[in-house]
């Protein structure tokens, strides 16, 4: 019986598989086999035994391992016994030789994180591509900028998408940077001294990780230090917060009274069970909602780094939830965001309507700057424009008409000057050039 929505509602099959019981067991056994091969390389155990261990893991069944765990109440020893059962009697003596449970458990987690990052990297590249395309396609689409929820001077949709694309590009860089820190394994023994491996502990760890194709810790106690994992969880929280920010913008811009953009809406899609006209931004809302869950994983994982002495077990149960949920939901949200952004619908007539909604008032900065450049002090120009704006606001007149009736303005600006200054299409600064530069930069990645 499915209980958690990840089981039936959220997440991709590829990311779910990474954190599945079956794959977890595979990683544990892969690590045990790599350890045996490393130990055989230096002559600590017989080569034939290592080869038999590596071959025997193919026959271990998840159901059998779970049955053993039910009997002995120890997950790692259940795996060790499960492998030993499939080995020859001689090879079975060397399974898990010199290792402690977390040498295998934490190293396997590193392998799972490596696989998860590979999935996330591909989707992040797709996300960046759709943002860059929207930036390029809409670099000349002038719209109302807003601060404090109020209409300000004009901006462009291209600039908005370019800003988001730049942020996503930084997340991609961060993921690449943290990957070697988060995808590591260890073979350090009960308290980190490698005593059970003898004088060859450092070489055994090195060779084991070479077999597994991941990095090795420089030093640890019984567990890999969780600052590595914290960084990865924080990356996911940071990334989904960017998606949250984008989705909040889309939700706001899709409000009925703004209606500049809209999520794709299927021909048979239902918006409300009682209001048939509704076209709700449900995908963007899902992004915002689930982003809260991913962000909530930061505090538990931070506390997983504050273990007693050489370790306790408080991190274990917590991470069984944190890693799968955070990875599955982050992957899900990136995929969801790609679809929303790629299929976004723009309502150009509403964009223009909102741009002109204040009847020129949003062009006050342009007028102020021109007056200042023509000899009026900046502060004096600000007051002239402010007082004119208040008159226009109270009277309902177009800002242009109030300005033309102002004698102080008339001393410096002609009617043509004023008409040009209140034209929003002529006051977007270097927005287009900035977008083009960002697009050129990010397309090279």
Residue 276 DSSP one-character state: T
- What is the SS3 assignment for 262? strand
Find how far residue 35's CA is from the centre of its chain: 34
Q: Yes or no: say if 399 and 390 are a contact pair by the CB < 8 Å rule.
A: no
Give the per-residue pLDDT at 278.
Answer: 72
Show Cβ contacts of residue 62 under 8 Å, excluding neighbours closer than 6 positions: 21, 22, 25
Strands 184-185 and 150-156: unpaired
Longest dimension (CA), the chain: 103
Burial letters for 25-34: b for 16+ Cβ neighbours within 10 Å, e otherwise? bbbbbbbbbb
Q: Yes or no: say if 284 and 340 are a contact pair by the CB < 8 Å rule.
A: yes
| Alpha helices (H) in 309-398, listed in sequence order | 314-342, 348-355, 364-373, 378-395
Count CB-CB contacts under 10 A for residue 374.
Answer: 12
Q: What is the dihedral of CA 211, 217, 223, 224, to 10 degrees?
A: -100
Count CB-CB contacts under 10 A for residue 188.
Answer: 29
Show Cβ contacts of residue 58 under 8 Å, excluding neighbours closer than 6 positions: none
**Fold assignment, 11-97:** Fumarase C; Chain B, domain 1 (1.10.275)
- What is the SS3 assignment for 302? helix
Name the residue among 219, 153, 213, 218 with its Cα closest to residue 362: 153
| Alpha helices (H) in 263-304, listed in sequence order | 282-295, 298-303
Give the per-residue pLDDT at 1.
Answer: 87
Count CB-CB contacts under 10 A for residue 285.
Answer: 15
Give the per-residue pLDDT at 274.
Answer: 74
3-class SS string, 142-153: EEEEEECCEEEE
Can you give the residue ranges of every domain in the chain? 11-97, 100-192+211-262+277-351+430-445, 361-421
Q: Yes or no: say if 281 and 263 are a contact pair by the CB < 8 Å rule.
A: yes
Q: Yes or no: say if 171 and 238 are a contact pair by the CB < 8 Å rule.
A: yes
Digit-by-digit pLDDT tens for the chain (445 residues) are 889 999 999 999 999 999 999 999 999 999 999 999 999 999 999 999 999 999 999 999 999 999 999 999 999 999 999 999 999 999 999 999 999 999 999 999 999 999 999 999 999 999 999 999 999 999 999 999 999 999 999 999 999 999 999 999 999 999 999 999 999 999 999 999 999 999 999 999 999 999 999 999 999 999 999 999 999 999 999 999 999 999 999 999 999 999 999 998 767 777 766 777 778 888 999 999 999 999 999 999 999 999 999 999 999 999 999 999 999 999 999 999 999 999 999 999 999 999 999 999 999 999 999 999 998 989 999 999 999 999 999 999 999 999 999 999 999 999 999 999 999 999 999 999 999 999 999 997 6
Give the per-residue pLDDT at 264.
Answer: 81
Q: Yes or no: say if 122 and 331 are a contact pair by the CB < 8 Å rule.
A: no
* Model pLDDT for residues 142-194, shown as the tens digit of each residue: 999 999 999 999 999 999 999 999 999 999 999 999 999 999 999 999 999 99
Count helices and strands (H / E) in the chain: 21, 6
Average pLDDT, the chain: 95
- What is the SS3 assignment for 128? helix
* Owner of token pair 């943290």: 178
Instruction: Classify domain 361-421 by CATH number.
Output: 1.10.40.30
Residue 406 DSSP one-character state: -
**Which residues participate in catalysis according to the annotation?**
148, 272
Name the residue among 136, 185, 180 with its Cα closest to residue 157: 136
The pTM for the full model equals 0.95
Task: Provide the β-strand partners of residue 346.
Answer: 261
* Model pLDDT for residues 4-61, shown as the tens digit of each residue: 999 999 999 999 999 999 999 999 999 999 999 999 999 999 999 999 999 999 999 9
Count CB-CB contacts under 10 A for residue 180.
Answer: 12
Strands 215-216 and 184-185: parallel
CATH for the 100-192+211-262+277-351+430-445 domain, from 1.25.40.340, 1.20.200.10, 3.40.50.300, 1.10.3720.10 = 1.20.200.10
């Amino acid at each position: 019986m499915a209980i958690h929505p990840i089981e039936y509602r959220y997440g991709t099959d590829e990311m779910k598989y990474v954190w599945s019981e079956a794959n977890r067991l595979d990683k544990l056994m892969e690590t045990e086999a790599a350890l045996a091969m490393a130990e055989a390389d230096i002559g600590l155990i017989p080569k034939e035994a290592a080869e038999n261990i590596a071959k025997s893991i193919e026959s271990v069944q998840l159901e059998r391992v779970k049955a053993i765990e039910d009997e002995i109440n120890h997950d790692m020893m259940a795996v060790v016994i499960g492998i030993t059962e499939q080995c020859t009697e001689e090879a079975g003596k060397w399974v898990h030789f010199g290792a402690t449970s977390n040498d295998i458990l934490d190293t396997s987690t590193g392998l799972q994180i490596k696989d998860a990052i590979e999935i996330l990297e591909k989707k992040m590249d797709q996300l960046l591509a759709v943002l860059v395309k929207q930036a390029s396609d809409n670099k000349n689409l002038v719209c109302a900028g807003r601060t404090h929820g109020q209409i300000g001077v004009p901006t462009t949709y291209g600039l908005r998408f370019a800003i988001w694309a730049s942020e996503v590009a930084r997340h991609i860089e961060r993921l690449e940077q943290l990957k070697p820190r988060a995808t590591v394994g260890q073979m350090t023994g009960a308290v980190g001294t490698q005593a059970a491996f003898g004088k060859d502990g450092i070489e055994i760890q090195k060779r084991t990780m070479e077999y597994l194709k991941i990095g090795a810790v420089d030093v640890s106690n019984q567990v890999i230090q969780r600052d590595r994992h914290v960084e990865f969880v924080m990356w996911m929280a940071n990334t989904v917060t960017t998606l949250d920010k984008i989705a909040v913008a889309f939700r706001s811009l899709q409000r009925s009274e703004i209606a500049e953009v809209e999520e794709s809406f299927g021909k048979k899609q239902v918006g409300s069970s009682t209001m048939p006209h509704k076209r709700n931004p449900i995908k963007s809302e899902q992004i915002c909602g689930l982003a809260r869950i991913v962000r909530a994983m930061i505090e538990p994982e931070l506390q997983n780094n504050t273990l007693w002495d050489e370790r306790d077990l408080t991190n274990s149960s917590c991470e069984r939830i944190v890693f799968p949920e955070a990875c599955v939901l982050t992957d899900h949200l990136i995929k969801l965001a790609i679809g929303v952004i790629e299929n976004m619908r723009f309502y150009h007539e509403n964009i223009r309507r909102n741009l002109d909604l204040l009847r020129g008032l949003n062009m006050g900065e342009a007028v102020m700057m021109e007056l200042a450049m023509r000899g009026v002090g900046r502060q004096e120009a600000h007051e002239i424009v402010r007082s004119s704006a208040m008159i226009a606001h109270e009277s309902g007149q177009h800002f242009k008409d109030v300005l033309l009736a102002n004698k102080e303005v008339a001393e410096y600006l002609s009617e043509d000057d004023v008409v040009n200054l209140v034209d929003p299409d002529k006051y977007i600064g270097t927005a287009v050039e900035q977008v083009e530069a960002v697009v050129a930069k990010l397309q090279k990645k």
